Amino acid sequence: MPEKATTRQMIRVLEILADTYPEARCALHFDGPWQLLVATILSAQCTDRQVNLVTGPLFQRFPNPDAMAGADQGELENLIRSTGFFRNKAANLIACAAALLQRHAGQVPERMEDLVALPGVGRKTANVVLGNAFSVPGLAVDTHVRRVSWRLGWTKQTDPVRIEQDLCPRLPTERWTMASHLLIHHGRAICRASRPACHSCPVLALCPRTGVA
Protein backbone atom coordinates (compact mmCIF):
# COMPACT_ATOMS: atom_id res chain seq x y z
CA MET A 1 0.00 0.00 0.00
CA PRO A 2 1.42 3.42 -0.94
CA GLU A 3 1.77 6.19 1.62
CA LYS A 4 -1.48 7.69 2.83
CA ALA A 5 -3.05 10.38 0.71
CA THR A 6 -2.60 13.92 1.95
CA THR A 7 -5.46 16.13 3.04
CA ARG A 8 -5.02 18.14 -0.15
CA GLN A 9 -5.37 15.00 -2.28
CA MET A 10 -8.39 13.84 -0.30
CA ILE A 11 -10.17 17.16 -0.70
CA ARG A 12 -9.41 17.17 -4.43
CA VAL A 13 -11.00 13.73 -4.76
CA LEU A 14 -14.09 14.94 -2.90
CA GLU A 15 -14.33 17.99 -5.13
CA ILE A 16 -14.23 15.83 -8.25
CA LEU A 17 -16.76 13.39 -6.83
CA ALA A 18 -19.05 16.28 -5.87
CA ASP A 19 -19.02 17.42 -9.48
CA THR A 20 -19.61 13.86 -10.66
CA TYR A 21 -22.43 13.06 -8.23
CA PRO A 22 -24.31 16.31 -7.54
CA GLU A 23 -27.28 14.23 -6.37
CA ALA A 24 -25.27 12.57 -3.58
CA ARG A 25 -27.22 12.48 -0.34
CA CYS A 26 -28.66 9.98 2.12
CA ALA A 27 -30.57 7.40 0.06
CA LEU A 28 -32.85 6.39 2.93
CA HIS A 29 -36.32 7.95 2.96
CA PHE A 30 -37.16 9.56 6.28
CA ASP A 31 -39.12 12.27 7.97
CA GLY A 32 -37.27 13.31 11.09
CA PRO A 33 -34.64 11.74 13.36
CA TRP A 34 -36.80 8.86 14.59
CA GLN A 35 -37.51 7.56 11.10
CA LEU A 36 -33.89 7.91 10.06
CA LEU A 37 -32.71 6.05 13.16
CA VAL A 38 -35.05 3.14 12.44
CA ALA A 39 -34.21 3.08 8.73
CA THR A 40 -30.48 3.06 9.44
CA ILE A 41 -30.80 0.19 11.91
CA LEU A 42 -32.71 -1.73 9.25
CA SER A 43 -30.09 -0.95 6.59
CA ALA A 44 -27.47 -3.21 8.17
CA GLN A 45 -26.69 -5.93 5.61
CA CYS A 46 -29.54 -4.65 3.45
CA THR A 47 -29.85 -2.24 0.53
CA ASP A 48 -31.29 1.22 1.07
CA ARG A 49 -33.79 0.50 -1.69
CA GLN A 50 -35.20 -2.48 0.17
CA VAL A 51 -35.33 -0.55 3.43
CA ASN A 52 -37.32 2.20 1.71
CA LEU A 53 -39.87 -0.37 0.57
CA VAL A 54 -40.31 -1.56 4.14
CA THR A 55 -40.38 1.68 6.11
CA GLY A 56 -43.55 3.12 4.57
CA PRO A 57 -45.86 0.42 5.98
CA LEU A 58 -43.68 0.14 9.09
CA PHE A 59 -44.11 3.78 10.08
CA GLN A 60 -47.83 3.66 9.39
CA ARG A 61 -48.08 0.87 11.96
CA PHE A 62 -45.46 2.16 14.41
CA PRO A 63 -45.11 5.92 13.84
CA ASN A 64 -43.14 6.83 16.97
CA PRO A 65 -41.04 5.35 19.80
CA ASP A 66 -44.08 4.92 22.02
CA ALA A 67 -45.80 2.73 19.45
CA MET A 68 -42.62 0.81 18.64
CA ALA A 69 -41.80 0.13 22.29
CA GLY A 70 -45.18 -1.60 22.66
CA ALA A 71 -44.90 -3.58 19.43
CA ASP A 72 -45.48 -7.31 19.27
CA GLN A 73 -42.12 -8.68 18.18
CA GLY A 74 -43.66 -11.27 15.88
CA GLU A 75 -45.69 -8.65 14.05
CA LEU A 76 -42.66 -6.39 13.77
CA GLU A 77 -40.54 -9.25 12.45
CA ASN A 78 -43.05 -9.89 9.69
CA LEU A 79 -43.00 -6.23 8.65
CA ILE A 80 -39.20 -6.07 8.40
CA ARG A 81 -38.49 -9.67 7.34
CA SER A 82 -37.21 -8.70 3.88
CA THR A 83 -34.40 -6.58 5.36
CA GLY A 84 -32.63 -9.66 6.72
CA PHE A 85 -31.59 -10.48 10.31
CA PHE A 86 -35.16 -9.52 11.12
CA ARG A 87 -35.30 -11.15 14.56
CA ASN A 88 -32.31 -9.25 15.90
CA LYS A 89 -33.43 -6.04 14.21
CA ALA A 90 -36.95 -6.31 15.64
CA ALA A 91 -35.60 -6.90 19.15
CA ASN A 92 -33.22 -3.95 18.80
CA LEU A 93 -35.94 -1.62 17.48
CA ILE A 94 -38.25 -2.42 20.39
CA ALA A 95 -35.43 -2.04 22.93
CA CYS A 96 -34.17 1.15 21.27
CA ALA A 97 -37.63 2.71 21.36
CA ALA A 98 -38.02 1.78 25.03
CA ALA A 99 -34.61 3.30 25.80
CA LEU A 100 -35.58 6.53 24.04
CA LEU A 101 -38.70 6.75 26.20
CA GLN A 102 -36.83 5.96 29.41
CA ARG A 103 -33.73 8.10 28.88
CA HIS A 104 -34.65 10.84 26.40
CA ALA A 105 -38.38 11.51 26.76
CA GLY A 106 -39.00 9.76 23.43
CA GLN A 107 -36.65 12.03 21.49
CA VAL A 108 -33.64 10.91 19.46
CA PRO A 109 -30.55 12.40 21.15
CA GLU A 110 -28.11 14.63 19.28
CA ARG A 111 -24.89 13.39 20.87
CA MET A 112 -22.73 10.50 19.73
CA GLU A 113 -22.29 9.10 23.24
CA ASP A 114 -26.06 9.00 23.79
CA LEU A 115 -26.79 7.44 20.42
CA VAL A 116 -24.27 4.60 20.66
CA ALA A 117 -25.66 3.73 24.10
CA LEU A 118 -28.97 2.79 22.45
CA PRO A 119 -29.62 -0.87 21.57
CA GLY A 120 -28.69 -1.68 17.98
CA VAL A 121 -26.85 1.60 17.39
CA GLY A 122 -23.16 1.69 16.49
CA ARG A 123 -20.98 4.54 15.31
CA LYS A 124 -22.02 4.17 11.67
CA THR A 125 -25.71 4.47 12.53
CA ALA A 126 -25.02 7.32 14.94
CA ASN A 127 -23.02 9.23 12.32
CA VAL A 128 -25.78 8.79 9.73
CA VAL A 129 -28.34 10.20 12.16
CA LEU A 130 -26.12 13.03 13.35
CA GLY A 131 -25.10 14.14 9.88
CA ASN A 132 -28.44 13.83 8.12
CA ALA A 133 -31.04 14.51 10.81
CA PHE A 134 -29.20 17.05 12.95
CA SER A 135 -26.55 18.51 10.61
CA VAL A 136 -23.88 17.48 13.10
CA PRO A 137 -20.81 16.39 11.11
CA GLY A 138 -20.28 12.65 11.11
CA LEU A 139 -18.37 10.29 8.82
CA ALA A 140 -20.32 7.07 8.46
CA VAL A 141 -18.14 4.18 7.34
CA ASP A 142 -20.08 1.49 5.49
CA THR A 143 -18.77 -1.20 3.14
CA HIS A 144 -18.45 1.29 0.26
CA VAL A 145 -16.61 3.92 2.29
CA ARG A 146 -14.28 1.24 3.63
CA ARG A 147 -13.48 -0.15 0.18
CA VAL A 148 -13.10 3.15 -1.69
CA SER A 149 -11.04 4.88 1.00
CA TRP A 150 -8.70 1.88 1.16
CA ARG A 151 -8.26 1.78 -2.61
CA LEU A 152 -7.61 5.52 -2.75
CA GLY A 153 -4.83 5.17 -0.20
CA TRP A 154 -6.69 7.19 2.40
CA THR A 155 -6.29 4.52 5.06
CA LYS A 156 -4.50 1.26 5.79
CA GLN A 157 -7.17 0.23 8.29
CA THR A 158 -9.97 -2.27 7.68
CA ASP A 159 -12.04 -1.79 10.83
CA PRO A 160 -14.77 0.85 10.28
CA VAL A 161 -14.15 2.65 13.57
CA ARG A 162 -10.41 2.85 12.90
CA ILE A 163 -11.07 4.08 9.38
CA GLU A 164 -13.26 6.85 10.79
CA GLN A 165 -10.54 7.75 13.28
CA ASP A 166 -7.97 7.73 10.50
CA LEU A 167 -9.90 9.90 8.04
CA CYS A 168 -11.60 12.48 10.24
CA PRO A 169 -8.46 14.27 11.49
CA ARG A 170 -7.31 14.75 7.88
CA LEU A 171 -10.58 16.13 6.53
CA PRO A 172 -12.26 19.42 7.44
CA THR A 173 -15.10 18.71 9.84
CA GLU A 174 -17.68 20.29 7.54
CA ARG A 175 -16.83 17.71 4.85
CA TRP A 176 -17.37 14.57 6.94
CA THR A 177 -21.03 13.92 6.19
CA MET A 178 -20.80 14.64 2.48
CA ALA A 179 -17.61 12.60 2.21
CA SER A 180 -19.62 9.54 3.24
CA HIS A 181 -22.30 10.23 0.63
CA LEU A 182 -19.78 10.81 -2.14
CA LEU A 183 -17.71 7.72 -1.40
CA ILE A 184 -20.87 5.61 -1.18
CA HIS A 185 -22.13 6.90 -4.53
CA HIS A 186 -18.74 6.29 -6.11
CA GLY A 187 -18.55 2.80 -4.63
CA ARG A 188 -21.93 1.89 -6.07
CA ALA A 189 -21.45 3.48 -9.46
CA ILE A 190 -17.78 2.93 -10.35
CA CYS A 191 -15.52 1.57 -7.61
CA ARG A 192 -17.47 -1.63 -7.13
CA ALA A 193 -16.26 -4.55 -5.03
CA SER A 194 -15.90 -6.73 -8.12
CA ARG A 195 -15.06 -5.42 -11.58
CA PRO A 196 -14.54 -1.76 -10.73
CA ALA A 197 -15.00 0.43 -13.80
CA CYS A 198 -11.58 2.04 -13.60
CA HIS A 199 -11.77 3.19 -17.23
CA SER A 200 -14.70 5.43 -16.24
CA CYS A 201 -13.34 6.63 -12.91
CA PRO A 202 -13.18 10.43 -12.56
CA VAL A 203 -10.49 10.18 -9.88
CA LEU A 204 -8.30 7.56 -11.56
CA ALA A 205 -5.33 9.94 -11.68
CA LEU A 206 -5.51 10.26 -7.88
CA CYS A 207 -5.87 6.52 -7.20
CA PRO A 208 -2.58 4.83 -6.23
CA ARG A 209 -4.00 1.41 -7.03
CA THR A 210 -5.79 2.40 -10.27
CA GLY A 211 -9.03 1.36 -8.61
CA VAL A 212 -8.18 -2.33 -8.16
CA ALA A 213 -7.95 -3.90 -4.73
> Which positions are catalytic?
124, 142
Q: Count H helices and E strands in the chain, helices first.
A: 11, 0
Cα separation, 152 vs 202, whole angstroms: 12
Cα separation, 143 vs 102, whole angstroms: 33
Check: CB of residue 107 under 8 Å from CB of residue 129: no
Q: Which DSSP symbol is given to 120?
A: T
DSSP secondary structure string for all residues of 178-193: HHHHHHHHHHHHTS-S
